[in-house]
């Protein structure tokens, strides 16, 4: 059996295959960028139209109560909680990942006694580093950027306030051991802030099992919540009521509609809200999260994770077979325990143009400076035969030199 037939056979017996029907996917596109912007849930256009036409257009302001708009952050948060090992009432959907990071980092620092050092990975996503850097400039403190294997030894010096990590590295796809790193942090009196941007919805996250302190994550990546979807925030119950977060808006107030002049934080995670929820975006996010919850009867995140690893294994194997001799270097960990749901290849020359040439062929991945070709694998809608076809396109783009064409070498604002 050749590999393409083998892929078709794998698809034919994939118990998750029906989940693909939950999405609108354009014909002729192999979408390997769900780690950056999840695909459109088929239910979203109608649901959004309903929110706009009926809840907004007809019921108007009454919808804050009658359609439950006011409880959307908690309602959607409870659904996200099921994907990340949190309990009902512990998560709210709100604001952006960057903004939520600002809130939890402030609180974590304030809880850290006199300590003033935040440790993170040098290759962490820039917005996380920028938020930490500027927050420390304002409060006084130091951001230490390390390689992942230097973190443990540095924690043992006993002066680190917060360990701020992204569970899956956006550039390399490396998956960090949340439980082990959290245990190492706690053993040294350090609190943990976990960014789940590339892990929530992609693999099993268990915040309680890992005994994490704070977590934030993104709504528009594996949660399929749509461009600029609200993000989410979780705080362990042992910390949540200890301090208010700094963006003390009325939605996080204990009784916002009393319009009292003084701030009193709500109990629990609701205090991590700031302003009015973006209702239309929340509706889209809920549709996205529902696409993941639909996998629950089919084995849930564990089944999705197994398929994701099978997809990335296949991609790596086919790239090795079909693209040998073309100077592609895999920087994704080969061990399952260390791999997220993406594959990252580097090429000293032409990485950007290669990605553009693939996009022109309908294979949508992305480029991350300076030299990374990044491919995300969303097991909800990707088929094994898509992986086969994607690698065939990559092979052709390389073998033909097609990527050298001038039109593939002009940089757009968003890569």
Distance in Å, CB of 35 to ligand PLP, minimum: 8
Active site residues per annotation: 125, 195, 220-221, 374
Q: Judged by CB, which is closer to ligand PLP: 50, or 123?
A: 123
**Tokens standing for residue 241:** 């009521």
Distance in Å, CB of 91 to ligand PLP, minimum: 16
Distance in Å, CB of 29 to ligand PLP, minimum: 21
Q: Judged by CB, which is closer to ligand PLP: 129, or 240?
A: 129
Angle between helices 300-322 and 384-400 (to 10 degrees): 30
Comparing CA positions, the residue from 343, 361, 351, 325 lying closest to residue 415 is 351
Distance in Å, CB of 346 to ligand PLP, minimum: 19
* Distance (Å) of CA 152 to CA 148, 182, 259: 8, 10, 47
Owner of token pair 């990335």: 312
Owner of token pair 């990590």: 165
Q: Which residues bind ligand PLP (CB under 6 A)?
A: 96-98, 125, 127-128, 166, 170, 195, 197-198, 218, 231
Q: Judged by CB, which is closer to ligand PLP: 197, or 287?
A: 197
Q: Judged by CB, which is closer to ligand PLP: 97, or 182?
A: 97
Comparing CA positions, the residue from 228, 238, 233, 227 lying closest to residue 251 is 233
Maximum CA extent, the chain: 73
Distance in Å, CB of 97 to ligand PLP, minimum: 4
Distance in Å, CB of 383 to ligand PLP, minimum: 25
**Rounded distance, CA 167 to CA 200, Å?**
9
Say how many residues make up the chain. Answer: 415
Q: Judged by CB, which is closer to ligand PLP: 129, or 323?
A: 129
Distance in Å, CB of 146 to ligand PLP, minimum: 16
Comparing CA positions, the residue from 190, 167, 170 lying closest to residue 118 is 190
**Tokens standing for residue 259:** 């319009």
């Amino acid at each position: 059996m050749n590999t393409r037939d083998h892929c078709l056979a794998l698809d034919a017996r994939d118990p998750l295959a029906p989940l693909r029907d939950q999405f609108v996917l354009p014909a002729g596109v192999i979408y390997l960028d769900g780690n950056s912007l999840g695909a459109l849930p088929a239910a979203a256009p109608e649901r959004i139209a309903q929110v706009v036409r009926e809840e907004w257009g007809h019921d108007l302001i009454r919808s804050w109560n009658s359609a439950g708009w006011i409880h959307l952050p908690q309602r959607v948060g409870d659904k996200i909680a099921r994907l990340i090992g949190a309990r009902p009432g512990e998560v709210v959907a709100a604001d952006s990942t960057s903004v939520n990071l600002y809130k939890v980092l402030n609180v974590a620092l304030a809880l850290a006694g006199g300590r003033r050092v935040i440790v993170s990975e040098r290759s962490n996503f820039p917005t996380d580093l920028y938020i930490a850097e500027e927050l420390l400039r304002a409060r006084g403190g130091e951001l230490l950027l390390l390689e992942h294997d230097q973190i443990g030894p540095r924690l043992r010096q006993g002066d680190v306030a917060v360990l701020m990590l992204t569970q899956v590295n956006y550039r390399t796809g490396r998956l960090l051991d949340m439980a082990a790193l959290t245990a190492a942090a706690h053993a040294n009196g350090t609190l943990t802030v976990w960014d789940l941007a590339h892990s929530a919805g992609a693999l099993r996250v268990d915040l309680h099992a890992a005994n994490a302190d704070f977590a934030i994550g993104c709504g528009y990546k594996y949660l399929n919540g749509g461009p600029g979807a609200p993000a989410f925030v979780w705080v362990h119950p042992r910390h949540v009521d200890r301090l208010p977060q700094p963006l003390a808006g009325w939605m996080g107030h204990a009784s916002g509609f009393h319009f009292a002049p003084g701030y009193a934080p709500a109990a629990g995670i609701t205090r991590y809200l700031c302003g009015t929820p973006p209702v239309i975006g929340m509706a889209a996010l809920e549709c996205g999260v529902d696409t993941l919850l639909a996998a629950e009867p089919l084995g849930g995140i564990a089944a999705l994770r197994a398929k994701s690893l099978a997809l990335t294994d296949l991609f790596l194997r086919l790239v090795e077979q079909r693209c040998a001799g073309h100077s592609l270097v895999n920087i994704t960990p080969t061990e399952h325990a260390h791999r997220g749901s993406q594959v990252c290849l580097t090429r000293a020359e032409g990485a950007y143009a290669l990605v553009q040439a693939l996009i022109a062929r309908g294979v949508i991945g992305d480029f991350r400076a300076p030299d990374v070709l990044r491919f995300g694998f969303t097991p909800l809608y990707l088929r094994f035969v898509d992986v086969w076809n994607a690698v065939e396109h990559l092979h052709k783009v390389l073998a033909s030199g097609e990527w050298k064409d001038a039109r593939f070498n002009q940089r757009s604002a968003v890569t």
